[in-house]
Structure 1
Amino acid sequence: MAVRSLDDYARLARKGFDHVLAESLEAVERASAETRAAFDRTGLRPGRSTRPGPPDTTTKILDRPWAAPIAVGPLTGPARPADETAVLRAADAAELPVVVDTVPANDLANPVPTADGTRWLRTYGHRQHGDVERSVADAERAGFAALLLSVRSQGGGRPARPDAPRADWADLERLRATSALPLLVAGVRTAADAARAFDTGADGIVTDSLETLPDLAAVAGTHRPVLLGGGIRRGADILVSLASGADAVLVGRLVLEGLIVDGEQGVTDVLGALVRELGEAMTFTGTALIAETCPDSLRTGHRPPLPVRPTGTRGGAANAPGNAVGVLRKEDLHASLSDPVLDTMTFLNEVTHRYPDAVSFAPGRPYDGFFDTEQIFTYLRRYLDQLAAQGRTEQDIRTAMYQYGPTAGQIREIVADSLRADEGVDVPAESIVITVGAQEAMLLVVRALTAGPDDVLLAASPCYVGITGVARLLGVPVTAVEEREDGFSCVDLETAIARERARGRRPRALYVIPDHSNPSGTTMDAPTRAALLETAERHGILLIEDSPYRRVSPGTPLPTLKSMDRSRSVVHLGSFAKTVFPGARVGFAVADQQVVDAFGRTGLLADELAKIKSMVTVNTSSLSQAAVAGALLAGGGRISEMNVEPAAYYGNAMRTTLRNLDARLPAARRAALGVRWNEPTGGFFLTVHVPFRADNEALTRSAQEFGVIWTPMNYFYPQGGGDQALRLSISYLTTADIEEGTARLARFIEAQAAVS
């Protein structure tokens, strides 16, 4: 069954609800609406763990180990009562306790030691006391671990299920006298109720209120568990509950949905997804152990307004940050803004401005010595002449230049002709969207392809920080497929796809720069390109091909993935910012994939990208498009021919850099130091591996003491790595700069290696 997420189970389960079950679950949903709303107001803050390895979800409650802080049930009006055994088997396999209303016959026939028990018995106040005693006695014989009783709360608690009258405090006293099993009381919503429950003999409490959890936890202390029942829909909800004071949660609705859709396997999948999502939430917050969960992980979206500073007040608390009008809390902004990847370029710019005399191998921008200001006017006139030659009126031309223009772009035909002439990419103009640089194209594509929280973007790693930043801003998880020393491997891609699918996630696309990639400078060989296309088609994922460096390199490049694409598996991203006109910031996306709606109607992925663009930038500057179009028309659409001189310049700069590195650090010396680098034949970048941690601290020392700037490679690893490598960019430097810069770099490497 192609069910991949908790959302899938929820959607499909609704189709299996009968009338009685639907009404019952509707009542439960209403009962947990307040808690669900509280979850929606609460988020998690990013953090970093100081412990290596994945987070540990195990916990201990009532002196018994649980694989995760999750108890299964109570199930409300099961759709298939005979399948209770399926729920029990799935929960047992997951090493999670289950709350049941009756003792299963199999448990009576095969009792387990109480210390190993994973069953809890729920009982009600409406039963005759003799019935309660017999039920509890059965639970004890079967090795049950605890009892659960719902009581009437003074705080307006809701019933555990719509048809179950609650017990009162006298029932609690009788049950406490009846059994020595640990006893938990459900329906507790206030600190007063919690205190009374513990005074009456309860060993733990269950509440349906997220907002009162901190107060209840304060009353319970450290040895009496507090559980939240109701409103849980995600693994992140579990971590929010724990950070708010809960020791564990009760999950019934999700389990029932899994049961309805796919029986025991459905329950297994749901529980696995919950535990997995909990682990991901722990990783996001930097929480290594359940015991380390704390309120600092919480980010509340709706806080009381900041106090207004009284008129005429000077100094004092009223003027303190966080109290003044116009001062915002960082935690109230989007969590991605605290992600280090968004600070990388800022840090590099600060270093560059702080040390203006340093030779900088950091900027990845084109050398502007090839651009003539007068060309701007020539290109604009060339495009205007083209419009006139097509029979456009003066009003048409004025509108084309002064108005916003079509969202998908007004030079799509010209770009399509250029791709056909220069790259052998033959696609209709309507499959192209003109964007504000390739960066916007990345945002549009990632946004369009990721439909839910279980969709994941794969990226050849190390990768361009722009794609990582887009994913962070959109909340899309990125899984790295790390390149080997000899380049990208499709075997590693297949492993990553299988691993993500085993985790219940859906790999949607792989982002890759096949030609002279940023940051490593590597180029994918022809056999790997062919294998990559075959792998993508076989596994049903798209390839996002970014190609900014093909035409800034000497020689004839290998074919693009898009030109080899026979199954529409490639979304091709391009940019004119490295070749024709950097300041115009014009890029494009080729998205000729078909999109079919629920009614069988088809369109192009490009149309969907244009919809998103209409809400982001509305359109790409008409003036910028005109300048780029004029340049393409002037060169017959062949950037390869227009860019012969710049490509030769960049190729010479790369060779000069490699030659000088070799002269400053000869083979024997770099072998002794543990230094090595790759040797790209084009592009802007190369990678140098060093025997020390090449981080921001090392970069600052390099700039300050040795007058040379580079980029730490760890910026480019989405899931960590590259700590002992640095990126050099050769695109913006003269030969003299390169000679001096490599000499300074060699001195820095020697000194830093000695210190390390």
Structure 2
Amino acid sequence: MSGVLLRAADLHGSVTDPGMESMNFLNEVVGRFPDAISFAPGRPYEGFFETSQVFDYLKAYTDYLERERGFTSAQVRTNIFQYGRTNGHIHDLIARTVSNDEGIEVSPQSVVVTVGCQEGMLLTLRALFAGPDDVLLVSSPCYVGITGTATVLDIPIHPVPEGPHGVDPAAVAAAAAEVRAQGKRPRAMYLVPDFANPSGSSMPVEAREELLRVAEQEDLLLLEDNPYGFFLREGNPRPTLKALDRAKRVIYLGSFAKTGFPGARVGYVLADQPVAALDGTVGVLADSLSKIKSMTTVNTAALSQAAIGGMLVLADCKLRDANAQAIDFYRTNLQTVLDQLEHHFPADVRASLGISWNAPEGGFFLVVKVPFPANDAALHRAAGDYGVLWTPMSYFHHDTAGDHQLRLSCSALDPDTIVEGMTRLARFIKDSSAA
């Protein structure tokens, strides 16, 4: 080989981190077995999308600019075609929407419109974590997007075990104490209180209120990620941490990937925490995130913002109501998976095989515990020999707790396909358990 040869040892550690390889392996398996029924991706059901919707959204947004905002034709053109405001130009619509849907009251100036929620995580972590002694607490299991971002930014993480009802506030307090005993500062805690990815667990309201008290006591910021809160299987919506927060401890990470469409790649951060500048003036954290964003993505694509903005306008900034069909669909899907598990593994069968699963109150995901290693080799075997895909829970853990667990996502499939897929999965689990 001629020319330059780069050595992995000379690249950033995130390039060779084993944890960064998991999604690449999963994508490779999906590509190799396109006919396999996949319970792996947490993406929305494509049957809800029509290409013509995008044009309707764009028209609704340009009409909104002219009629409600009083924009001239030239100003509309600039808004759509030019770079625009770093923190985004649909911040007012987002503020109205989170007020209507979640009872969260923030100024539009505290909203940062991001390139998906993933950029929101990056901006927030980069702003908050000033040095090597600042530690990020994360639920375990945890969404790989946040742990991967922390790895890229050289931010140390400290896992907090998640129970059947989400993160235990007492465990968060204990983790903070452990970090301090090591001479470091527990800076923030990341969690998904509603139907978490990957576990599907949800925190009771009392636990949310207690966590806010712990955050105050331990001087912690809470990074609340809420992509699945609309999608209840049973019960009533619970207030978000941000809606309960009175001390501005919660930084809220939002996205339109599940409640709108992921192709737009539009998310947002609600960052209304006061920040005292070196000159004594006080601004909000959103302004600090804006400075970092201006040197990373410059701004979020104006055309994508216009599409999402039009969607919000047509929904009268009430996305929960606009998602009524999707809520019913995902409720049916999750119940279908649970019913199929019960059908294929009645109590006596699952007891003899050592199989169990949780029954989330909503969301896209659930976890099945199996007696065999649910690793990459097992996934490859399931795809090739049984025509079914899932996600190893080991991808989401920082220890061995997920080595015998697999995550099932029910969002991307229709109910009939779920029934066939669960039949294939049951054969795979029974054969692997027997072996």
Band of TM-score, shorter chain? over 0.9
Cα deviation for residue 584 of structure 1 reads 0.4
Q: Which residue does 1:595 correspond to in 2?
A: 275
Counterpart of 1:595 in 2: which secondary structure?
strand
* Match in the other structure for 1:530: 209
1:431 aligned to which of 101, 104, 110:
110
Q: Secondary structure at the match of 1:452?
A: coil
Alignment of 1:380 with 2:58, yes or no, is yes
- What is the aligned partner in structure 1 of residue 177 from structure 2? 498
Alpha-carbon shift at residue 720 of structure 1 (Å)? 4.6
Deviations 1:27-51 (A, max 9, x none): xxxxxxxxxxxxxxxxxxxxxxxxx
Number of aligned residues: 433
Q: CA deviation at 1:371?
A: 1.5
Contact persistence 2:166–2:193 (CA under 8 A): no
Question: Structure 2 residue aligned with 1:350, among 20, 28, 35?
Answer: 28
2:6 counterpart of 1:328: yes
- Structure 1 residues 196-247: Cα deviation after superposition (integer angstroms, max 9, x where no partner): xxxxxxxxxxxxxxxxxxxxxxxxxxxxxxxxxxxxxxxxxxxxxxxxxxxx
Cα distance, 1:443 vs structure 2:
0.5
Matches within 5 A, 1:205-604: 319=1, 324-389=2-67, 390-553=69-232, 556-604=236-284
Which secondary structure does the structure 1 equivalent of 2:6 belong to? Answer: coil
Letter in 2 for 1:391: G
Partner SS for 2:163 = coil
Aligned match of 1:663: 343
Residue of structure 1 equivalent to 2:289: 609
Secondary structure at 2:167 match in 1: coil
1-structure distance, mates of 2:198, 2:396? 7
Cα shift readout 1:328-347 (whole Å, capped 9, x = no counterpart): 22222211111122111111
User: Quick one: which of 297, 315, 318 aligns to 1:638?
Assistant: 318
By how many angstroms is 1:581 displaced?
2.2
Structure 1 portions without partners, runs of 5+: 1-318
Give the Å deviation of 1:486. Answer: 4.4
Whole-angstrom CA distance in 2 between matches of 1:721 and 1:325? 45
- One-letter identity of the residue aligned with 2:21: D
CA–CA separation in structure 1 for the residues paired with 2:231 and 2:74: 38
What amino acid is aligned across from residue 115 of structure 2 in structure 1? Answer: V
Contact 1:651-1:681 within 8 A present in 2 as well: no
Shift in alpha-carbon separation, 1:603–1:472, aligned structure 2, 3 A: same
Offset at 1:363? 0.7
Q: Name the SS for the 1:551 alignment partner.
A: coil
Q: Is the 8 A contact 1:450 1:508 kept in 2?
A: yes
In the TM superposition, residue 458 of structure 1 has moved relative to its aligned partner by 0.3
Three-state SS of the structure 2 residue aligned to 1:376 is helix
- The residue type equivalent to 1:651 in the other structure is R
Contact kept, 8 Å, 2:164 with 2:201, in 1: the verdict is: no
Match of 2:427 among 735, 741, 747: 747
1:681 aligned partner: 361
Q: How far apart are 1:754 and its partner, in Å?
A: 1.9
Cα distance between partner residues in 2 of 1:466 and 1:568: 24
1:700 paired to 2:380: yes
What is the CA–CA distance in structure 1 between the aligned matches of 2:74 and 2:415, rounded to whole Å? 50
Say whether the 8 Å CA contact 1:430–1:606 is kept in structure 2: yes
Give the number of the structure with larger relative contact order, counting CA–CA contacts within 8 Å between residues 6 or more apart.
2
Indicate the residue corresponding to 2:394 in structure 1.
714
Q: CA RMSD in A?
A: 1.2
Could you tell me how far apart the structure 2 residues matched to 1:424 and 1:352 are? 40
Counterpart contact for 1:552–1:578, Cα < 8 Å: no
Alignment partners' CA distance in 2, 1:341 and 1:349: 14
TM superposition shift of 1:582: 1.6
**Cα offset for 1:719?**
4.5
Runs of 4+ in 1 over 4 A off after TM superposition: none
Residue 580 of structure 1: how far off its partner (Å): 1.3
Q: Deviations over 1:238-274 (max 9, x none)?
A: xxxxxxxxxxxxxxxxxxxxxxxxxxxxxxxxxxxxx
Q: Deviations over 1:409-468 (max 9, x none)?
A: 011011001111111000101111000010000011111110000000000111100001
**Once the 2 structures are TM-superposed, how far is the Cα of residue 553 of structure 1 from its aligned partner?**
3.3
Gaps of 5+ in 2: none
Kept in 1: contact 2:81–2:302 (CA 8 A)? yes
Distance 1:402 1:486 in 2: 46
User: What amino acid is the match of 2:212?
Assistant: L
Distance in 2 separating the partners of 1:327 and 1:388: 55
Matched, 1:647 2:327: yes
Task: Calculate percent identity across the aligned residue pairs.
Answer: 51
Q: Which residue of 389, 403, 406 corresponds with 1:723?
A: 403
Greater CA radius of gyration, 1 or 2?
1
Residue 309 of structure 2 corresponds to which residue in structure 1?
A: 629
Q: How big is each residue's C-alpha offset from its partner over 1:133-160, in whole Å with a ceiling of 9 and x where there is no partner?
A: xxxxxxxxxxxxxxxxxxxxxxxxxxxx
Structure 1 residue 743, shift from structure 2 partner: 1.3
Q: Does structure 2 conserve the Cα–Cα contact (< 8 Å) formed by 1:654 and 1:681?
A: no
- Superposed CA deviations along residues 165-206 of structure 1, whole A, max 9, x for unmatched, are xxxxxxxxxxxxxxxxxxxxxxxxxxxxxxxxxxxxxxxxxx
Paired residue for 1:223?
none
- The structural deviation recorded for 1:556 is 3.6
SS in structure 1 of the partner of residue 367 of structure 2 = strand
Q: CA deviation at 1:326?
A: 4.2
Q: Matches of 2:88 and 2:228 in 1, distance apart?
A: 23
Maintained 8 Å contact 2:165/2:201: no
Deviations for 1:731-750, whole angstroms, at most 9, x for unmatched residues? 01111211111111111111
1:252-306 CA-to-partner distances (Å, cap 9, x unmatched) read xxxxxxxxxxxxxxxxxxxxxxxxxxxxxxxxxxxxxxxxxxxxxxxxxxxxxxx
Using the size of structure 2 for normalisation, the TM-score is: 0.97
SS of residue in 2 equivalent to 1:686: strand
1:107-126 aligned within 5 A: none
Cα contact 1:536–1:543 (8 A) shared by 2: yes
